[in-house]
Structure 1
Amino acid sequence: MAAIRAAEEAAPELATGELMRRAAEAVAREAGPDRPVLILAGPGNNGADGLWAGERLARAGASVAACAVLGGADDTAAAALTAAGGSMIDIDDALAMIGPQVLIIDAILGIGARPGLRGAAADAARLARERGGPVLAVDLPSGLDADGAVAPGSAFRADRTVTFGGRRLCHLLRPAADACGEVVVADIGIDLRAEAALLAGWQAADVARAWPVPGAGDDKYSRGVLGIDTGSARYPGAAVLSCTGAAWSGAGMIRYAGPGEAGREVVRALPNVTIGTGRVQAWLLGSGWGERPDARTRVDSVLALGLPTVLDADAIAALPRHPLSGRVLLTPHAGELARLLDTERAVVEADPIAAGRRAAEMTGACVLLKGTNQFVLAPGHDQVWLAAPGPAWTGQAGSGDTLAGICGTLLAAGLPAADAGVAAASLQAITAEWHPGPYPPQALASYLPATIAALLREAR
């Protein structure tokens, strides 16, 4: 809202109705005149945008009815709608209209409203879900919080959302983003992109652009050698999975330098992995260590080398007290991050961006916070990177181990830690989206090469 007010002050002509006219035209353009339209209007500017869109649709020949769901709809816009041939109806008639043949324009609540719906608005949202009524939301589906990821059960679920000037957090973060459907950003003369750019959402094209592609003169060493110390006698699978993620994402060479029991399982599953130490370009530590007595010593010794390093799982609990390098990437889930910050998991989940930023500033490392929404935060940077979304099937034991291996591959290939984190998380999510499962993490990893090839092919 502050950005919109600033835009109006910078261009006073926008505050005299021009902004609303442009918004209405954008909504009408997305709706189209080809089916009956029911506008559910609230009392604020959002409702007025919907009513003015209805006026334009009625003039274009559409059958348009509108309802002031919460009372107090914009009188001028309502009068213009009826003058154009539309009609204002009561809530009972509006609820009776909801069905698969009628396009609902949800213009009840805007970006300043509290999450959740009650009364007639909640009834309309419920009937739209039950009867399959298509929904076009203005700015955001009513019932969502513009600056959050939560999607209350009472909120509208839109097939498409028209927003203005730039995306808000609810358009990017799941599950709220799922409730928005396809998001169309309309140009109405205000530009919120600088504000929205603080949260940069990655998609397939971003992964393709960042992905390291070997040249004709490259070999296994120049492509990147990754040292991996993961797994334990109790958790040998973590070693196998982290090496699997690295191998299937294109590591030039993998040197496994973890416990011998786990190493035997690694070579059995991946005969291309070399056992033992040697020259590497990056390290991955921690997945499946469990209660390892020398964990802190091992982490200290690797960090002292000054190489790009992924610290996953139990290695995060063994961080040194001194600040780390920005070449270090931490890959915690919410519980691990809560332990690092000495707080509750619920605190991290309530504001994951703030928690991740605090961890990055506290440690000096980049942080890939895993979860439904996967964020990367870097020390000294306001920007937050959001990985491409993927299906919930990836939320299973072992996915984080393979993800850590992908991160290691990219660090060894020379990507900065923040780019490696968001590219790896995005690749795993896109792979799960393009190769629907459910697959266990090692099986999903086998599809990584096909996804990488497709991404690079589409980027040409």
Structure 2
Amino acid sequence: MGQVSDLNDFTRSDDVTDPTACAWPAQEVAAAESPVTAGTDRYMRAAAHAVARAALRELRQGPVVPGAVTAPARPAVAPFSSASPAGPVATPSSPVSPAAPTGASADGGGAYVSPGWIAGSPVLLLVGGGHNGADTLLAGGLLSHNGCAVSAVLATEHPHPVALEEARSHGVTVYGAGYRSEDGTDQDNAEAIAAVEAFLARGGLVLDGLTGIGASGPLRPDAAALIAPLVAAGEPGRRPLRVIAVDLPSGTGVDDGTVDGPVLAADRTVTFTCLKGCLCLPPARHLCGVVEVVPLGLPAPSSRPIARRPVDGGLGDYLARAVPEPGADDHKYTRGVVGLWAGSESYPGAAVLAASGAVRAGAGMVRLAAPRRVEDLVLAARPEVVPTAGRSQALVLGPGVDPADTARAGELRDVLRPTLVVARGLEGQGADGEGTDEGAAEPDGGTAPTEPSVVVDAGALSILADLLAEDLGCTPLHVLTPHAGEAAALLTALTGTEAQAGTSRQWNRERVEARPAHAARELSRLSGATVVLKGATTLIAAPDRPLISVDCGPGWMATAGSGDVLAGVLGAVLAGTAVRWERAKADAVSGAGAVTTARTDVALDPLLDALLDSVAAGVRLHAFAGAYAAAIPQGAGGVGAGGHPIAALDIAAALGPARLELNWLQAVPHH
């Protein structure tokens, strides 16, 4: 990815259209594929081979040892990876051997497998109707042909007939719902559940093919009963089995990532052509494990994605653009200046954490506006901070500010108000509070305002809610950073408590956590701002853009002050992005014989794309730093990754090594 040469070079990132990093609505995926797949089972067999290869890789790891934690060695497989290069898929030369590849395997070659590696390994197939069930049955036949002990339990009376007979012909034992065996007896769900329990006594590998992208809502009762013993066996890494989900974990909301019933959490998900919403969006995202995208040669939709999930190498690119390595002519002002309004008599330490985050993330200067006690604490920890307000490329408002401190809240209100614009109102809000795409605040003409980017965090969020009630609105250059509780409070304030009081539509923490994708979009729509909804998977929402999904590091990062460090990091990357924009702007106008630094005559779209990339990079940098601080190799650590407890200052101190790791990943091919 090249460097910026002029104002028109703020292009959207490559992964915005990369199907292995983007998710589209299930209906659009099906519509794009159906003209190609009609009348052929070529792609179904290709998908089955991909699943079989993934299963064999899992089986090579040997028996499951519940509770054992092994940190990945560097370099590790990215949490999201493409299993084969895009392009036409070869027709399998044999229907029964994974050694006849349909494309390169995830480790780069064909999948010849010695049966001695996996002979006798127990494999359980969970089979529903439709193509996912067929993929699973065919994959089971391939595994049985290679020596596995494969059994299948059916949760449908209408399994794919060809796939079912082929699986049986290769030694797969079939149980379950409505299947009539060779002797003419009905095999009921009780027998299938007994088969599941018998499998659990030995442990092994499960292929979940109960539902696919055509399903909606929770699992049906018979399918839910099948997975109940497996769910009760424990979480991934703490149970005597491994699970591969075929296309997606069954029972998850395909497009929105909701979870309305029981779901068998996967260790790995093998999906086809492109991501699906549930593989990017929480809470379903946390049930997917490692996600492997297999391009089968099928077309992806040409419309705008609903979500994108940049790989770490791509995020390294974004970070290198937002906060580049200084050149010979750079100085503190050209590296980005962050104006920090943080800390109060009640919470002075937040200013230390936010300042440390900004400094360690690469800001050329941090200016602090705070009470004297807060200044003293910050300067004792970070003597390079300048304790006076002044021109800044990005503002960070609110960490450690107590809204009940009227004097301090008034200061922030006076800083925040001039950055807002006159809102168009909330006329697009639906009667149920769900809203439409209308009604967000925007600057006149769709142009960028003259103020710098503003990170609105913690105490400044409630101050913002009061200002928005005065018919003011944000622009996308306002970056709101709420957790679920703060998001619920903002949504309640913006939608009106009268319309929601006493109804099931009322916003609260539980509703935000159950539907974070909708909450992030709705908060962005109502405020006009860019929203960073924090969580184990952070969602970044901006008007008329796909959601961006970024993992946020190990659970040890759930500690007081971690969010303050993140606010400082975001300030640094946004200041760097603004400097980059100002340089390009200056070059453009000087070439035209004019001299100006105003932004008001420039369209917002290019800057917004650069801003979103920078925010995503800042979130992931923060996550990598948390993993380094917790002593987890290669900063992608998540649940079960090990490590040790950390404090928020540890995260700030590790931002330098985390930057090096992202630089290393940037150098690894990732497209």
Q: For residues 440 and 457 of structure 1, what CA distance do their matches in structure 2 show?
A: 26
Is the Cα contact below 8 Å between 2:339 and 2:368 reproduced in 1? yes
Partner of 1:23: 47
Partner of 1:239: 351
Match of 1:187 among 291, 295, 303: 295
Residue 249 in structure 1 maps to residue 394 in structure 2: no
| Cα distance change, pair 323–150 in 1 and its aligned pair in 2 (3 A) | closer
| Cα distance change, pair 23–203 in 1 and its aligned pair in 2 (3 A) | closer
- SS of 1:118's equivalent in the other structure is helix
| Cα distance change, pair 368–4 in 1 and its aligned pair in 2 (3 A) | closer
- In the alignment, residue 653 of structure 2 is paired with which amino acid? S
| Cα distance change, pair 279–178 in 1 and its aligned pair in 2 (3 A) | closer
TM-score, with structure 2 as normaliser: 0.63
Partner of 2:379: 267
- In the alignment, residue 97 of structure 1 is paired with which amino acid? F
- In the alignment, residue 404 of structure 1 is paired with which amino acid? A
- In the alignment, residue 475 of structure 2 is paired with which amino acid? S
Is the Cα contact below 8 Å between 1:151 and 1:179 reproduced in 2? no
The Cα of 1:96 is off from its aligned counterpart by 1.3
- SS of 2:278's equivalent in the other structure is helix
Residue 120 in structure 1 maps to residue 226 in structure 2: yes
Q: Show CA shifts across 1:238-282 (max 9, x none).
A: 211111111111211111112222111111111111111233222
| Cα distance change, pair 191–100 in 1 and its aligned pair in 2 (3 A) | farther
* CA RMSD, 1 decimal: 2.8
Partner of 1:104: 206
Match of 1:229 among 329, 341, 361: 341
Is the Cα contact below 8 Å between 1:167 and 1:196 reproduced in 2? no
Match of 1:173 among 274, 281, 289: 281
- In the alignment, residue 365 of structure 2 is paired with which amino acid? M
Q: Show CA shifts across 1:67-86 (max 9, x none).
A: 32555433332222222333
Is the Cα contact below 8 Å between 2:245 and 2:270 reproduced in 1? yes
- In the alignment, residue 197 of structure 2 is paired with which amino acid? L
Residue 77 in structure 1 maps to residue 158 in structure 2: no
Q: For residues 105 and 195 of structure 1, what CA distance do their matches in structure 2 show?
A: 31
| Higher alpha-carbon deviation: 169-178 or 406-415 | 169-178
Higher relative contact order (CA 8 A, sep 6+): 2
Match of 1:375 among 539, 549, 563: 539
- SS of 1:227's equivalent in the other structure is strand
Is the Cα contact below 8 Å between 1:99 and 1:133 reproduced in 2? no
The Cα of 1:451 is off from its aligned counterpart by 0.6
Partner of 1:314: 459
Residue 284 in structure 1 maps to residue 396 in structure 2: yes
Q: For residues 387 and 193 of structure 1, what CA distance do their matches in structure 2 show?
A: 22
Partner of 1:361: 525
| Cα distance change, pair 231–188 in 1 and its aligned pair in 2 (3 A) | same
The Cα of 1:441 is off from its aligned counterpart by 0.9
| Cα distance change, pair 349–25 in 1 and its aligned pair in 2 (3 A) | same
Partner of 1:443: 650
Partner of 1:384: 547
Q: For residues 385 and 407 of structure 1, what CA distance do their matches in structure 2 show?
A: 15
* Percent of residue pairs identical: 35
Residue 419 in structure 1 maps to residue 419 in structure 2: no
Partner of 1:332: 482
| Cα distance change, pair 44–239 in 1 and its aligned pair in 2 (3 A) | same
Q: Show CA shifts across 1:401-421 (max 9, x none).
A: 111111111121125432332
| Structure 2 gap ranges (5+) | 1-25, 57-114, 176-190, 421-448, 496-506, 579-609, 631-643
- SS of 2:28's equivalent in the other structure is helix
| Cα distance change, pair 101–80 in 1 and its aligned pair in 2 (3 A) | same
Q: For residues 348 and 66 of structure 1, what CA distance do their matches in structure 2 show?
A: 38
Partner of 2:78: none
In terms of fraction of residues, the more helix-rich structure is 1
Partner of 2:597: none
- In the alignment, residue 228 of structure 2 is paired with which amino acid? A
Residue 56 in structure 1 maps to residue 142 in structure 2: yes
Q: Show CA shifts across 1:52-80 (max 9, x none).
A: 22233344454433232555433332222
Is the Cα contact below 8 Å between 1:100 and 1:131 reproduced in 2? no
Aligned residues: 458
TM-score, with structure 1 as normaliser: 0.89
- SS of 2:577's equivalent in the other structure is coil
Is the Cα contact below 8 Å between 2:32 and 2:300 reproduced in 1? no
